[in-house]
Amino acid sequence: MAVQTAETVRQWATRHDIGCTDIDVWKAHEERRGGMDELHHAGNPDLVVTLGGDGTFLRGARIAAKNDAAVLGVDLGKVGFLTEVACRDVETALEAVHHGGATYEERMTLTMRASRPLEIPSGIESLLRYGHGPALPPPAVRPETAEGDGWGVALDVTALNDVVLEKLARDHQVALGVYLAGRLLASYSADAVIVATPTGSTAYSFAAGGPILSPSTEAIVFTPVAPHMTFNRTVVTAPDEPVALRVLPHSGQAAVSIDGQLRGVLDPGDWIGVYGSTRRLRLVRLAPTDFYGRLRDRFRLTDAPATALDGESDLFWRTTTPVPPDLAHLKLPPPSGHDR
């Protein structure tokens, strides 16, 4: 299905005399490029079309956000929060973008600094990525880095979902000092810690017991995974309040993953600082979005036994009449037929 849909996109681009380049394709015996290299290889596109589920969308997002390109997600997955259209509608979606009939929804992203450039030691990559496709290279150092200025190195990272620091040894948790807005909050011994965006709040952070945030929220979500301490709650910070994680001297090594991709390994004494990026991601939308309707559908919330007694709930507010003045400033459900 992906191959057929990709050909549909290429043929549409040819008919409209628009350049089209394959990017971030996993091929045998070929190394994958970092986001900035992939962006230049693609010729700095205005639109990135992803064919797959949310994982594929995230790979397109890391490229698009570096160039303020928009992303159109074509859904080939099963539990997609980010993808927008089905394969059968891809030409309709491309026409809408081309002729100005689409809208764009902005999402915040994360970036980071580290005490040193990230590296993946020899032998660890094959162990951690057994059964997976080719790995991305460690993120490059951004040019604004000043050697020895005390602020670490700025890394070319754009995360739409999350940055995760997790243990490497099965029998040894990672020990971390966690700093919020430059102040020590606590020391954690845990399987992992997650620093997520509101978009990523429905991914790994949610699975670890974190809250669900509206994607229009501006916030950073810090969630520990299986912590050995009394304080095991998620903390939600402002996007300008960085979350720093220092690997403590008695800890083992820790793996750094960005949007689910292994990107480096930290040793005791190393640290990373994660914070809201000035780069935004622009998602193509063809109709008004209903995040909570999508949340209900994806997690099958209407399948709860109690709902079977009463059937489908009535709408709370009906949108067939003009909105009253005291509600005009609120974000309301889209009209019937636009439940996306």
Q: Who contacts 268 (Cβ-Cβ below 8 Å, separation ≥6)?
A: 247, 248, 249, 250, 251, 252, 253
pLDDT reading at 167 higher than 60: yes
Catalytically annotated residue among 17, 24, 46, 54: 54
pLDDT reading at 228 higher than 90: no
Alpha-carbon span 68 to 71, nearest angstrom = 10
CB 128 within 8 A of CB 255: yes
Report the pLDDT value the prediction gives residue 337, as an integer from 0 to 100: 47
Between 147 and 184, the more confident residue is: 184
Query: To the nearest whole percent, how much of the chain has pLDDT over 90?
Result: 52
Q: Looking at residues 204-210, what average pLDDT do you find?
A: 95
Residue type, 58: L
pLDDT reading at 338 higher than 50: no
Report the pLDDT value the prediction gives residue 272, as an integer from 0 to 100: 97
Report the pLDDT value the prediction gives residue 172, as an integer from 0 to 100: 78
Pairing outcome for strands 47-52 and 174-180: unpaired
Which range among 100-109, 117-126, 234-243 shows the weakest confidence by mean pLDDT? 117-126
pLDDT reading at 101 higher than 80: yes
Which range among 61-70, 80-89, 222-231 shows the weakest confidence by mean pLDDT? 80-89
Report the pLDDT value the prediction gives residue 116, as an integer from 0 to 100: 95
Helix H or strand E segment including 196: strand 192-196
Q: Who contacts 135 (Cβ-Cβ below 8 Å, separation ≥6)?
A: 32, 120, 125, 129, 261, 262
pLDDT reading at 339 higher than 60: no
pLDDT digits (tens, 9 = 90+) for 66-78: 888 999 999 886 6
Q: Looking at residues 43-59, what average pLDDT do you find?
A: 88
Q: Looking at residues 125-151, what average pLDDT do you find?
A: 74
Report the pLDDT value the prediction gives residue 310, as an integer from 0 to 100: 59
249-260 burial: b if 16+ Cβ within 10 Å, else e: eebebbbbbbbb
What crossing angle do the helices spanning 2-15 and 90-98 adopt, rounded to 10°?
A: 30
Q: Which tokens sit at 29? A: 């015996």
Alpha-carbon span 51 to 259, nearest angstrom = 17
How far is the CA of 8 from the CAs of 1, 54, 85, 118, in angstroms? 11, 20, 14, 39
Q: Who contacts 180 (Cβ-Cβ below 8 Å, separation ≥6)?
A: 222, 235, 237, 241, 242, 243, 244
Query: Residue 184 — φ and ψ, nearest 5°?
Result: -65, 125
- The closest of 235, 226, 231 to 174, measured between CA atoms, is 226
Q: Which tokens sit at 167? A: 């243990």
Q: Looking at residues 302-322, what average pLDDT do you find?
A: 65
CB 192 within 8 A of CB 210: no
User: Using CB atoms within 10 A of its CB, is residue 41 exposed (0-12), middle (13-18) or buried (19+)?
Assistant: middle
Q: Looking at residues 139-149, what average pLDDT do you find?
A: 82
pLDDT reading at 327 higher than 80: yes
89 is annotated as an active-site residue: no
Report the pLDDT value the prediction gives residue 50, as an integer from 0 to 100: 92
Query: To the nearest whole percent, how much of the chain has pLDDT over 70?
Result: 85
Which pTM does this prediction carry? 0.87
Confidence of residue 193 (pLDDT cuts 50, 70, 90): very high
Q: Which tokens sit at 58? A: 């995230």
pLDDT digits (tens, 9 = 90+) for 247-280: 999 998 999 999 999 999 999 999 999 999 999 9
Q: Looking at residues 119-128, what average pLDDT do you find?
A: 74
